Every structure is written in C-alpha cells, then in structure tokens.
A and B are shown apart, each in its own frame.
Chain A
Amino acid sequence: MEQIRNFSIIAHIDHGKSTLADRFIQRAKLVEDRDFHNQMLDTMDIERERGITIKSQTVCLPYTNKAGEEFILNLIDTPGHVDFSYEVSRALASCEGVLLLVDATQGVQAQTLANLYAALEHNLAIIPVINKIDSPSADVEHTKEEIETELGLDADEAILASGKTGAGMEEILEAITRDVPPPSGDSAKPLSALVFDAKYDPFRGAIISCRIFDGTLRTGDTIRLMSLGTTHRVEEVGVFRIAREKRKEIHAGEVGYVIAGIKTVSDTRIGDTITLEDNPVTAPLPGFREVKPVVFSSVYPMEAEDFDSLSDSLERYKLNDASLIYQKDSSQALGQGFRCGFLGLLHLEIFQERLEREFAQSIIMTAPSVEYRFILKNGETLTIDNPQNYPDPMAIEGTTEPYIKATILMPDRYMGAVMKLCLDKRGENSHFSYPVPGRIELVFELPLAEVVFDFYDKLKSVTQGYGSFDYELIDYRPSDLVKLDILVNGDKVDALAIIVHKDRAHARAASVCEKLRKEIPRHLFKIAIQGAIGGKIVSRSTVAPFRKDVTAKCYGGDITRKRKLLEKQAKGKKKMRSVGQVMIPQSAFVAVLKTDDE
C-alpha cells in the first residue's frame, strides 16, 4: 500500500487536463504509440469534440521514481463541469491528492477555485501545476501571484509544465510520489469500497469503478450495495490500464473495477458503499446522496410515428447515464413524448446531441424549465417542472422558485457589465471582493431559471471570455410567477408555454413573439403569433405570407433544377413540426427562452 498513490487532476475547463493525462499515459507506455490519440481518456466523440470530460475515467500508471522505487499511480480523471460536481466530489473522495492545474495564459478561474475548495474539503494533498508554459501568451509570474493570493497556496511549490511539450512531467510524477500520502486502510477489515463511477457494457452490464478503503474484494464474493440494499455475486475484479486488467482480488487502498452481473448503471448509485453480504461494515462511507435533476425539458419525436423508436433510444441511453430521468409526457401540439430531467444545461445539451448523433433520433426539445413549487389555497404544495401542468391561477396561494449562489471571477474592468447582467437576471444580495488587484470575485444570488439558459454564454460575451462562473443551489424563495401562453394562428401551442416572473412577463411575451416571428418561416398565409397571460393577449407579431414566389421561366432545362429545389425544401420541412397548418422549426421551441435581443 505504501507504493500506491491515488490522485486526480482538477482544473477549470480548457486548462489542459486531458492533455496532461495523455502525457502520463504515453510516458507509462500503456499503449503503443501507434494506438495513441489525443484525449485518450475521453472516449465519447462529444467529449473529444468539445474538449470536455463527461464521464470519469481511471487509469493505473506504473512509475519508478528517481530513487528506483516502484509505484502504482492511480489517476482518476473527473468530469470538468459544474453540472457533474457530485461525481467530481465522489472521485475526489477516492483520492489522497490532486494536481491543481492552472493555465499560465488564463490564470485562476472560477472553477479552479471551486475545485480547490472541493479538494480541501476532502483534506487532499494539493500540488499546484502551472500548465501551458510553452504558450507565447503564458504569464507565469502573474499566475504565481494569483496562486498565492487567490488560492492561498505556496507558489514556489508550483511545478511549471506543458502538457503539449511534456515539460515538467518528471517533476509532477516525482511530486506525486513524494507529496501525496499513500492510502491508509486495512485489507483484513470488513469491505468498504466507494462507488465513484459506473459504465455500461453491453456484454457485462454495469462496470463499477470503486476505491477500496478497507477490506479485500474477490471474484466470487457476494457484495451488497448499501444504499440500494441489493446483493450481487462478483464475476470479475481488476484495475484499469486503459483496457480492463483482470485480477483475483483488489485490496484496501487500490482503485479498480467490479463486475457483478448488475444489469445497468441505473442499478448502481454513485457514492454508494460496497460491502460484503456475509461480513458487512456497520456504516456506509460518508457523503452519499441521491442526485437530483434541476433542469427539465420535454423531448418529442420529429415525426409522431417515431415515438416507439425514441422510447427505445431513451431506454438504451439510460443504460449508461443513471442521472437522466424521464417519464412519458404528452402535448396537444406535439403528441407523445417524454419529460426529462437533467443535472444541468450541459447535461441536457449532451443528451440532445448524443440522441441525435449516436441514436439517429430526430427530435424536438422544449425550452428547459426548473422545478417550481406552488402553494395552493387548499394547503397543498405542488412541484411543477412543466409549464403544461401549471395550476389554475385562482387556486394558487403562493409560488416559489429555486435560487442559486453564483460566484463569478473576472478582471475588474467588466464589473459594470456583469453587475448589469446579474441584475437583469433578477440577481440579489450581491457582494464582491478583490482577491488580487485588478480581479473581482462577485457573488450573486440568482433564480436558477434565469441562469439555466443562456447566462453562461452572456457572461462569456460581456467579459470577452475572461469571466468564469460557478454555482450552487441554495434554496427556494417566494416569487411572483405567471404562465406565458403562446398562440399560433389562434391555437394555443402548449409546448411553447413558459413560466416567467410577473414583472418580466410583458417584456418576455413581446420578445418571444418577436423571436418566433424570426424562427417561423413564411407560409402561403399570414401567421399571427400571440403571447397571452391568463387568457389576455399581451403581445403579438405576424409572419408575412409569400406575396410573389415563382420563377418566370420553366422549360425543358429547368425542370430537374426546380424539382431538386423542391426536394431540398421538403427535406427542410422534415426538420419542422406542423401545428395546425403552420410549420414550426425545431429551433423555435428552444428559442423562446433566449433573451439576447432584450
């Protein structure tokens, strides 16, 4: 156990985490050079394309230090986004130390800070690494200053590195063996292992990644997942060396995997404790909680007859994404679909993209919503995440909505613009500090509903990319809410309805009508778009009809060209859904929440 080091790399998005991991893997010669590719641990297309990590990955790296001692370094790669902060916390709980990566060209960012706090909570050894020192725009001195003042770490200990050139790799690996403590634990004690990830394998079912704190896990053991109370017989245990490497047993202090005939990842819980059925620990490891979705959206097939196929895809999708929840939903306008819950907007976007790409589904997703709570006059409390289920306004005593605490880091010159943005988004109780001269840490309490959609994009835009952002849910607060209905040619389109704050309702109604006017293509007839609150029309826009659209000449040589044009148009129509006689494009359903023109 003395020769094991369990560590993770934490960093703000784009600070070079995956590239650094790649260098470790190459150095350890876990793969042949010809099999190597960038972002080795990011196995999904979408992870590579977007340069983000969605699923945790583990790799066991053999390393011989300068003194000639042999070590096993277990790198636990964690997701890099706030939507997955619980997963990150469980991965960190499985480590004894972290590499805290700071981009020398960007300095300390909001997530660097959030990640540091998370590591400190778990009492982890922290090795600061300044990355991308080879970049022409690297400012090592300034980054060091930020590490001292903003993170309170000793900048002299920071290792200068470049994932790109490989500079500093040796120092980092030495530091891990020197500064990260070896795991403690007793292989003879009753088993307690922390589940920090689970993946689906079509042949083996759920493959659980776990850290053994005490005890030994062997093939043939009967294990119990403590939060679920289910028992399973262990088919295989082992460690990750990019590919799975089978072992007879894994011991206290080690990180590895277990396959135990568990059908899907939904039959596991991240943060759960694995123990032995016949020799259990008395208490599970701390920190477990059920992950709850915070953002909700409905998904409908583009063609109503594809509902079964969509249903099937969701089932398969869920095999590998336990945090997705969904249930049947139906809309007058769009027919049968599903209401889905997500950990955040990125989670939702990933879902949408993978459903379209990997599952070849053509879908419409409605504007995301948060979960509102309604107190009714009869004393009942109603939780509503779908505007369609908005209660009778006469029966409502009060309404509440979820609030977050947002932490925003930025150069001070953007303070005015960001303050305005936050106030526009109904922010309150702000305070700020100057962690270093020239930089501001701004804390705001904001309704989650205002943030879920385009807050991050807007923040990036008003700070020219220099602002970073992190948030946590705090509580529900009373809020004056109304439902905004949208009518297209007199027909209420339920899938376009949104719940909005009363003070913003009229402005929002006008903006939605204007947006839809741009989104809905022209037809052969005039289309009236109306916004209504409580049955009263409060805004209106019109899509003008085609007045003249015909080519003058159509003779022998023009017919093929004309037909091809029509075929193209027909294809475009497939990306739309007809509501009454009006074709509404996919994009319109989400556009209602965008507020860039306000």
Chain B
Amino acid sequence: MMNNRGIADSRNGSAPGTSDDRDGPSPGLYVHVPFCKTKCPYCDFYSITSGTPAERWLGALAGEAALHRDIFGAFDTLYVGGGTPSLLNESETGRLFDILTGTFDCAAGSEITIEANPDDVTSRALAAWRELGVNRVSLGVQSFDDGVLRFLRRRHDAIRAQAALALLRETGFANIGIDLMYGFEGQSLDLWRRTLERALEYRPEHISCYQMTIERSTEFGAMLASGSLAAIDEETQRTFFMETSAILTGHGYIHYEVSNFAREEGLLSRHNRKYWSRLPYLGLGPSAHSFRDGKRWWNVRSVESYCDLLERGESPVDDSETLGDDEIALETLALGFRTRDGAALETLRRYQGWERTLKTLVDGGLVTVADGRAAPTTSGLCVADRLAAAFAG
C-alpha cells in the first residue's frame, strides 16, 4: 500500500530530467505548507501559528490541484516548502502526497525535497518520508551555535541539529541540504567559520548560506526601524560573503548561486534552478507563485481566504502578470547574474552600450566572458543585484 504512494516510481511519466539539463522542459511542482509552531523574527515567508487546521488546508489543496490537472506536463521536481512542512504528521503528509500523485504525473527519477526543522526529524518521520519517495531533505539548521540559535529564536539547539543530521544519514538519505544563516550583529567571522566547519563534517550534498536580509515586515525589521537592531556595514557583509565562498569552494563545493553550494555537479538543487532558469513551475498553497509561458500568477497570502475560495469552487489566485519582451529580458538577466551561468551575450545585446558596460564589468573583475555567456565571478555574485541594472535602463 505505502509503496504505491511513492512518487519517484509512480506513473509512466516522461524521461527523467537530469540536474544539469538546463533547458529541460519539465516543470517543477511546489507546495507551500503554511504552518509554523512559532514565527522566526527574520522570516517573511507566509505562515500561521494557529487557526486553520491542516486538514482543511489539505482539502483546499486538493481542490487547487484539481484546477491544474492536465495543464502542466510531467513534473520532475517536487518541493515541499513552507512554513514548516515537517510539522505535518504522517497521515497529513501521506494525504498530501496522495493528492499530488493522484492529480499529477511525476517523472521517474524526480527530485523530491521536503524542508524540515531539526526538532521534527524523528526516525518515524524519516521512514514515512522515504516511503513516500522523498529523496532530498533540506534541513533548517541555521547555525551550530546555541547563542545564535537563541538570537534567531529557533526551536532547536546545536546538539539537536547534529542529531538530526546523524539520523538522516543513518536512515539512508543520500541527498541532504543544510540551510545556514550568517551576517548579523555580534556574530564574529570566527563564530561563522566554526558553524561552516561543523556543517562540513557531515559532507552535506548541498549547503545554502543565507546572509541576513532584514525584511521590513518582520520582527527584526521593526527592531531595525526602532534602533534596537543594528545593520551590518557593507564592507563586513562583503567579507563574510567572500569568506563563505572561499571556505566552501576550498572544500570542493560548487558556488552555483548567490547563496547556494553543491558538493558535486549532480547535486545542484534541480527544483530551485527552475526558478532561476525561468522554467515552468506550479506552486500550490497560499502565497505560492506559479510560472508558465511568460505568465506568472500567485495565490492569496492567507490560509483562511485560500480555503474559503477553494471551498466555494473559486480560484485562489490573487493576481497575475504576463511578461513582455523587455520584462523577460530583464528577468533573464537579473536571475542569470545570480548564478554561475550568468547571461547569454545574446540577451545583453538588446541593451544600449552593452559592450562598453560588459568591458567595465570584466575589467572590474565582476564578470568573465566565455562560450557566449557573461558569468559573474564571486565578486560579481556579491553585487549581483547591480549587474543587471548596469545593463538595463
């Protein structure tokens, strides 16, 4: 019974995509699980800590999935994110996968990721995920320093994170991603290095290192505005960024996106790369974004409205946009420059004075040109948001 619910070996789907198949047409499927036990003060992803029960949300999700049946081709990635997907109990997770497999085609060899909090990682949960076909776990470790974890108000401590990683390996998960955060007040470079070194001991297949961005709508945002939290100066931010890249690439990791590192070429996040390569994706759940054929749409940012709408048989889409040529080019540029792939010279050609701009960037050591593409160096990634702006406008 349980075996039949697994996604990776279900259906007859299309040929498996490979992780470096950049232009592969297979779409990605994302599910936004909008529940958290507590709100983290830095996070601006949509979630609730009480109210609508998961069961109701699942019912609505089934309704939303049905709206998209037969529209997208076979998916080759599934990413269950949030919120905190690991908060769902076994039967809820099972129900979620039932809905997805019952509605969509998934290619054999799909990348199936679930985001997990260390304190939700139990042998039972892991066994259940494996049964369902989950082959990649992204663990929200954030730090191996208890002081930092308290500052970030995470539920776990360093020992719990280490235990979760050990358990994941024991259970046989061969593709583990660790999420880490850095660049906040009071954190020394040394402290950050120790967290990185601890992470490296597990030789994770994937490491995401997010430099703290203080969003206005978060608790940290309010603290910054009131002066009880200080912003980090740019030069220090740069030092942390460059050092992070140096340490991880020094250990053989590939710095393939601003905040993302993979142990080997085959281990880049296939799902997330779809966002950056502008491949189609379907996002289910409140606040989720979808993209297909130059059109992007996104759902209401409220579980309650999301459920209400779907229960009435209405679409949960909040708004949408159809991109014109200029917008497509700008996105291609902005997203491209965030990855080691950079942008095709063909895309740059539409901007006035592109050659002079490119030369300036190359001379400044921000970009290198090879194989018809302009790709950012590590210094370039550090100012990636300005690279596209240097051409456009």
Contact = CB atoms under 8 A, between A and B. Distances in A.
Contacts of A204: none
Contacts of A477: none
Interface in B238-278: 238, 241, 258-259, 272, 275-276
Contacts of A473: none
A557 B366 contact: no
A549 B361 contact: no
B331 A571 contact: no
Interface in B339-393: 353, 356-357, 360-361, 364, 366, 381-390, 392-393
Contact of A566 (B258, B334, B361): B334
B237 interface: yes
Contacts of A570: 330, 389, 392-393
A578 to B, nearest CB: 7
Given A547-B383, A550-B383, A559-B296, A566 B389 contact: yes
B104 interface: no
Contacts of B381: 550
Nearest to B278: A559
B241 A548 contact: yes
A562 B272 CA distance: 16
Contact of A581 (B289, B291, B357): B357
B361 A524 contact: yes
Nearest to B210: A552
B212 A552 contact: yes
A37 interface: no
B382 A563 contact: no
A536 interface: no
Contacts of A557: 45, 283, 287-289, 298
A566 B392 contact: yes
A554 B213 contact: no
A556 B284 CA distance: 12
A441 to B, nearest CB: 50
A556 B275 contact: yes
A553 B212 CA distance: 10
B334 A562 contact: yes
Contacts of B353: 578
B338 interface: yes
Nearest to B297: A560
A574 B352 CA distance: 13
Contact of B291 (A525, A556, A573): A556
A545 B327 CA distance: 27
A569 interface: yes
Contacts of A524: 360-361, 364, 366, 383, 386-387, 390
B114 to A, nearest CB: 16
Interface in A331-385: none
Interface residues of B, number: 51
A525 B283 CA distance: 39
Contact of A556 (B258, B288, B331): B288
A567 interface: yes
B366 to A, nearest CB: 6
B35 interface: no
A563 B291 contact: no
Nearest to B46: A557
B321 interface: yes
Interface in A399-441: none
B201 interface: no
Nearest to B283: A556
Nearest to A576: B393
Contacts of A571: 393
A574 to B, nearest CB: 7
A572 B288 CA distance: 31
Interface in A554-597: 554-557, 559-560, 562-563, 566-567, 569-574, 578, 581
B62 interface: no
A327 interface: no
Contact of B385 (A525, A550, A581): A550
B346 to A, nearest CB: 19
A562 B45 CA distance: 16
B270 to A, nearest CB: 14
User: Which of A525, A556, A578: most chain B Cβ within 10 A?
Assistant: A556
B335 interface: yes
A557 B46 CA distance: 10
B211 interface: yes
Contacts of A573: 389, 393
B57 interface: no
A51 to B, nearest CB: 37
Contacts of A553: 210, 213, 259
B234 interface: yes
Interface in A187-211: none
A546 interface: yes
Nearest to B353: A578
Contacts of A572: 393
A537 to B, nearest CB: 23
A551 interface: yes
Contacts of B330: 563, 566-567, 570
Given A524-B383, A525-B360, A559-B275, A547 B238 contact: yes
A546 B392 contact: no
Contacts of A547: 234-235, 237-238, 382-383
Contacts of A563: 327, 330-331, 334
B233 to A, nearest CB: 9
Contact of A548 (B331, B360, B382): B382
Nearest to A574: B393
A13 to B, nearest CB: 41
Interface string B279-298: 00101000111110000101
A38 B123 CA distance: 80
A578 B351 CA distance: 14
A525 B362 CA distance: 11
Contacts of A560: 289, 296, 298, 321
B192 interface: no
Most buried by B among A570, A572, A574: A570
Given A548-B234, A549-B385, A556-B288, A569 B331 contact: no
B288 A552 contact: no
Interface string B287-318: 11111000010100000000000000000000
A545 B389 CA distance: 14
B129 interface: no
B75 interface: no
Given A563-B327, A566-B392, A573-B393, A554 B366 contact: no
Given A556-B289, A563-B331, A581 B356 contact: yes
A141 to B, nearest CB: 52
A212 to B, nearest CB: 59
B237 A554 contact: no
B97 interface: no
B290 to A, nearest CB: 8
A574 B389 CA distance: 12
Nearest to B323: A563
Nearest to A562: B334
Contacts of B220: none
A547 B366 CA distance: 11
Could you say which of B241, B258, B275, B386 has the most chain A C-beta atoms within 10 Å of its C-beta?
Answer: B386
A566 B382 contact: no
Contacts of A523: 390
B30 interface: yes
13 contacts: A524-B361, A525-B364, A547-B234, A548-B383, A549-B234, A550-B383, A556-B283, A556-B290, A556-B291, A563-B331, A566-B388, A570-B392, A578-B353
Interface of A: 523-525, 545-557, 559-560, 562-563, 566-567, 569-574, 578, 581
Given A550-B383, A552-B213, A563-B327, 13 more contacts: A524-B390, A548-B234, A548-B238, A548-B382, A550-B381, A553-B210, A553-B213, A554-B258, A555-B275, A556-B290, A562-B385, A566-B330, A566-B388
Please provide the 7 A-B residue pairs with the shortest distance between their CB atoms, ordered closest to farther: A570-B393, A573-B393, A556-B289, A548-B238, A552-B210, A550-B384, A548-B237
